[in-house]
Amino acid sequence: MASIPLHPQSRYDSVARLLHWVIATLVILNIIGGLAHDALEGIVNVMPLHKSTGITVFFLTVLRIVWRLVNPPPPLPSNMASWEKAASHATHASFYLLMVLVPLTGWIMVSAGTRPLDWFGLFPIPKFGVTKGDAIVDISGEGHEILAILFGVLALIHIAAALRHHFLLKDTILRRMAG
């Protein structure tokens, strides 16, 4: 089957595409690192890298949100089912929320600890004024893990949906972000 042409205005701009793929890669690696850090203890200390990457995701997400407000995404295809459009909007809103909440809960949790927080060993990251036993620290500790697992599940669903559009429906949805 011939490929459907993609109108330039139906594609995300290059900055949005770059931010999408960089953040997606960092999030996936960080979820894997967060889940595997206990198993890797004694081999490699994953947590400093995990923390720095989380902070990076947080600030890149702030940049991405600002960019998206100034540069709205292209509209979804008019022939797309209304339930798919609703699912797309809900998924994207959930991703933005998780890209803020997961790093933020980790940052709050780490702020209550005694270990330093820095960005890849280059400079210190300020900690929040919280201590162990504070309700926000306890909530953040539980929330960080639960939200990260939810994030991973949502990412797998998102990837499956994009592949469905590309290989089964043979439409332009994946190519809008693929470059």
Phi and psi dihedrals of 123, rounded to 5? -160, 155
In this prediction, residues 10-33 reach a mean pLDDT of: 96
Concatenated DSSP letters of 8-41: GGGS--HHHHHHHHHHHHHHHHHHHHHHHHHHHT
Residue 7's pLDDT band (boundaries 50, 70, 90)? Answer: low
Instruction: Let me know if 89 is exposed, middle or buried by CB neighbors in 10 A (0-12, 13-18, 19+).
Output: exposed
- In angstroms, the Cα distances linking 159 to 67, 88, 143, 148, 154 are 23, 12, 24, 16, 9
- In angstroms, the Cα distances linking 156 to 36, 92, 143, 179 are 18, 13, 20, 20
Residue 10's pLDDT band (boundaries 50, 70, 90)? Answer: confident
Distance CA 65, CA 59 (A): 10
Residue 4's pLDDT band (boundaries 50, 70, 90)? Answer: low
* pLDDT beyond 60 at 133: yes
What is the predicted pLDDT for the residue at 71?
96
What is the predicted pLDDT for the residue at 8?
57
In this prediction, residues 9-24 reach a mean pLDDT of: 94
For 42-85, what is each residue's pLDDT tens digit?
899 999 999 999 999 999 999 999 999 999 999 999 999 999 99
Distance CA 169, CA 54 (A): 35
Q: What is the mean pLDDT of the chain?
A: 94
In this prediction, residues 21-36 reach a mean pLDDT of: 96
